[in-house]
Amino acid sequence: MAIPVIEMGNLKGNEKERFMAEMGKACEEVGFFQLKGHSVPLELMERVKKVCSEHYNRVREPKFKTESVPVKLLNKSLTEAELSNSSEPKKVENVDWEDCFVLQYAQEDYPWPSEPSEFKETMMEFGKEITKLAETLLEILSENLGLEKGYLKTTLAGGDGPDDKAFFGTKISHYPPCPRPELVEGLRAHTDAGGLILLFQDDEVGGLQVLDNTGRWIDAPPMKDTLVIDIGDQLEAISNGRYRSAWHRVLATDNGNRMSVASFYNPSFDAVISPAPQLLLQPKEGSELSLYPKFVFGDYMNVYAQQKFLPKEPRFQAVTALQY
C-alpha cells in the first residue's frame, strides 16, 4: 500500500464526484493522502519555505545545536559509550530530534518572530489560504459521510454562533541532520489529536511514515507542490470510526534538514465531540451503537498531553466517564 495521491481539480460535475470518492477511500483506508491541484498558491508556498528556512537558520539552528535536549542527550549517550568502551551507545528514549514552535494566529499578543522581516506577513497569508482549503475539504468530508451541509465545521467550532470558532494553528518544525539517526527518533509515532491536519512538508528530504492497516510503515515521500492531508482523532470520533486517524512518525536522517509546516484545524476547546447521530450503527431495530464517547475537546487534550505517544484507545476511554 502507498499513500494515495489525489488531484483536487475544479470540484465541479464528474470531477467533484471523482475527488469525493478518492478522498473518502483514502480517509477510510489510510487516514492520509497527498493533495495535488489544491487552492493554495504555489508562489506563496515558495515564500513560506523561504521564510521558515531563513528563520531556522538565523535564529533556531544555533540554539538547537548547543542548547536542545535531544542534542545533549545524544552527546551524553555517545560520551558514556566511549568512556565505558561500549561497542554501541544506548538509544536515546522519550525525545524527538526536532526543533519546533507553534503559530497562534488568533492570539492578539502572540510574539511573532521578527526574522526575517516578512515572516509574519507571509505566514498570515498562508494561514488564511490553508483555513479556506481546510473548510472546503471539511465540507466535502461532511457530504461524503452523508451529513448535512456545514456539519463538521459547525461541530469543530462548537456551534454556529458568531463567537463559535474552531482553533487554527501552525506548527513549524525542522528535523536537522543527525549524526547517529539510528539512536533517536525524528518524531515518535503518534496520532494527531485534533480535526483536520494540512501539512506542507519538505519537497526534498523525506522521513515521514504512516502505519497502514496491515501494520506496515509506509513512506509519505516528498512531492513538490503537494500538501499532505491527515485525519485527526476528532474526525475519527465524529465519523464513528469510518474515517481513520493513522499512526505516523518521522525518521531522523543524517542527510538534509527536513522542513515541516503542519496546520491544524481543530475543535474549539469547549466543543462537544461525539459520533454524528446519522452515523450510529444499528445492529438491530431500536438500538444504536456509538463506538466513541461524548466529550469536551479540552478534556481530551488534557489527556492527550500526557498520552500523546501511547495507544489512542485509552485516551477515549479516559473521557468516557464524563457525561454531558
Which stretch of 33-47, 167-181, 272-286 has the lowest confidence by average pLDDT?
272-286
pLDDT value, residue 11: 85
Q: Indicate whether 322 pLDDT > 70.
A: no
pLDDT above 70: percentage of residues in the chain:
96
pLDDT, averaged across the chain:
93
| Residue span of the structural domain in which 76 resides | 28-275
pLDDT band at 282 (very low <50, low <70, confident <90, very high): low
Pair type for strands 272-273 and 196-201: unpaired
pLDDT band at 71 (very low <50, low <70, confident <90, very high): very high
Q: How many domains does the chain have?
A: 1
CATH number for the domain that contains residue 162: 2.60.120.330
Task: Kindly report, residue by residue over 119-137, the tens digit of the pLDDT.
Answer: 999 999 999 999 999 999 9
Q: Indicate whether 79 pLDDT > 60.
A: yes
Residues 153-167: what's their mean pLDDT? 93
Q: Indicate whether 286 pLDDT > 70.
A: no
Residues 60-67: what's their mean pLDDT? 94
pLDDT above 90: percentage of residues in the chain:
82
- Residue 128, in any domain of the structure: yes
pLDDT band at 107 (very low <50, low <70, confident <90, very high): confident
pLDDT band at 6 (very low <50, low <70, confident <90, very high): very high
pLDDT value, residue 323: 59
* Alpha carbons 323 and 180: distance in angstroms, whole number: 48
pLDDT value, residue 162: 87
pLDDT value, residue 13: 81
Residues 57-77: what's their mean pLDDT? 95
Which stretch of 222-236, 284-298, 303-317 has the lowest confidence by average pLDDT?
284-298
- Residue 107, in any domain of the structure: yes
HEC string of the chain?
CCCCEEECCCCCHHHHHHHHHHHHHHHHHCCEEEEECCCCCHHHHHHHHHHHHHHHHHHHHHHHHHHCHHHHHHHHHHHHHHHCCCCCCCCCCCCECCEEEEEECCCCCCCCCCCCCCHHHHHHHHHHHHHHHHHHHHHHHHHHCCCCCCHHHHHHHCCCCCCCCCEEEEEEEEECCCCCHHHCECEEEECCCCCEEEEEECCCCCCEEEECCCCCEEECCCCCCCEEEEECHHHHHHCCCCCCCCCEEECCCCCCCEEEEEEEEECCCCCEECCCHHHCECCCCCCCECCCCCEEHHHHHHHHHHHCCCCCHHHHHHHHCCCC
- Residue 134, in any domain of the structure: yes
Model pTM above 0.85: yes
Residues 265-281: what's their mean pLDDT? 93
HEC string of 141-164?
HHHHCCCCCCHHHHHHHCCCCCCC
* Alpha carbons 286 and 233: distance in angstroms, whole number: 28
- Residue 78, in any domain of the structure: yes
The residue assigned the cell 499512526 is 247
- Residue 133, in any domain of the structure: yes
Task: Kindly report, residue by residue over 205-230, the tens digit of the pLDDT.
Answer: 999 999 998 999 999 999 999 999 99
What are the grid coordinates assigned to 105, written together? 494566529
- Residue 264, in any domain of the structure: yes
pLDDT value, residue 85: 78
pLDDT value, residue 287: 55
- Residue 164, in any domain of the structure: yes
- Residue 65, in any domain of the structure: yes
